Structure 1
Amino acid sequence: MMTGGLSETKPATPEVQHIANEVKAQFESKANRTCGIFNAIVYRTQVVAGINYFIKVQLSDAVYVHLKVFQSLPHENQRLSLAGFQTGKTRDDPLTYF
């Protein structure tokens, strides 16, 4: 994968679910909603000055969101941050850059 380009879409791993869980409260605050279900389904990564994770998250049977989560470089010792999100997604919507 080249710097700046998106990786291929991969099934979510326990690590990606952990990343989604870490930003769940940020999402709930920004989206003004509470989520009982917050299951990471698939993800892509983008190498920048850190890593952007694009994660498709299931909120209910038919409701999905796409998250953009920034992970800084290890020496910066920063928390994961929710850099953006897209609502109104379905299971079949492709995970693309935003």
Structure 2
Amino acid sequence: MLSLRVLSVIGVLLLCGEMDAQITVTMRPPPRPITPMNAGGLGATRTGDANAQAIADKVKGQLQRVLGKTFTTYKVNSYRVQVVAGTNYYMKVYLEDTQNQKYVAHLRIFESLDGKVRLSGGMFPTNWNDPIDFSGYTSIQN
């Protein structure tokens, strides 16, 4: 931002005929504040939403094959996101099978940069109060 003194000097020079160029002053918005990122860290816990459910639905069949169960209820309760070379979704999912058995599972779902989604790990069963974090997942091979 030009100071008042610089503007005054330019004005005097223009009045004296010392400057014949036209001056344009452009005001720029202030820079956006930089928010710290924890690269590779887990984001805050979010309540399950339509986007998370859509991602989880893509691996429902894979989970059923791995566990040998068919789920009549499969609902994302909460989740956390980790940005890597793609995105890891750590999800707490409420499950009910065809025998009316109720479970809570933690799933690690990887979405690649090209949009492919796969179940990459999980904990089954877990307790409802278990926090969503990095540890304890069994890797699932495709």
TM-score by length of 1: 0.89
Contact 1:62–1:90, Cα closer than 8 Å, also in 2: no
Q: If each structure's strand is expressed as a fraction of its own residues, which one has the higher value? A: 1
Contact 1:62–1:91, Cα closer than 8 Å, also in 2: no
Task: Give the unaligned 5+ runs of structure 2.
Answer: 1-36, 136-142
1:79 aligned residue (116, 123, 127):
116
Q: SS of 1:25's equivalent?
A: helix
| RMSD value, Cα | 1.4
Quote how far apart the aligned CAs of 1:78 are: 4.7
Structure 2 residue aligned with 1:64: 104
Percent identity, please: 35
Structure 1 runs (4+) deviating above 2 angstroms are none
Q: How does 1:1-98 map to 2 (within 5 A)?
A: 1-60=37-96, 62-73=102-113, 77-98=114-135
Give the distance between the partners of 1:14 and 1:78, measured in 2 at CA: 17
Q: SS of 1:89's equivalent?
A: coil
Q: SS of 2:124's equivalent?
A: strand
* Pair 41,86 (structure 1): closer, same or farther in 2 beyond 3 Å: same
Equivalent pairs, count: 95
Task: Give the unaligned 5+ runs of structure 1.
Answer: none
Give the distance between the partners of 1:44 and 1:55, measured in 2 at CA: 7
Contact 1:51–1:70, Cα closer than 8 Å, also in 2: yes
Which letter maps to 2:112? S
TM-score by length of 2: 0.63
Give the distance between the partners of 2:115 and 2:52, measured in 1 at CA: 17
Rg: which structure is higher? 2
Quote how far apart the aligned CAs of 1:24 are: 0.3
Q: SS of 2:71's equivalent?
A: coil
Give the distance between the partners of 2:102 and 2:64, measured in 1 at CA: 18
Quote how far apart the aligned CAs of 1:31 are: 1.3
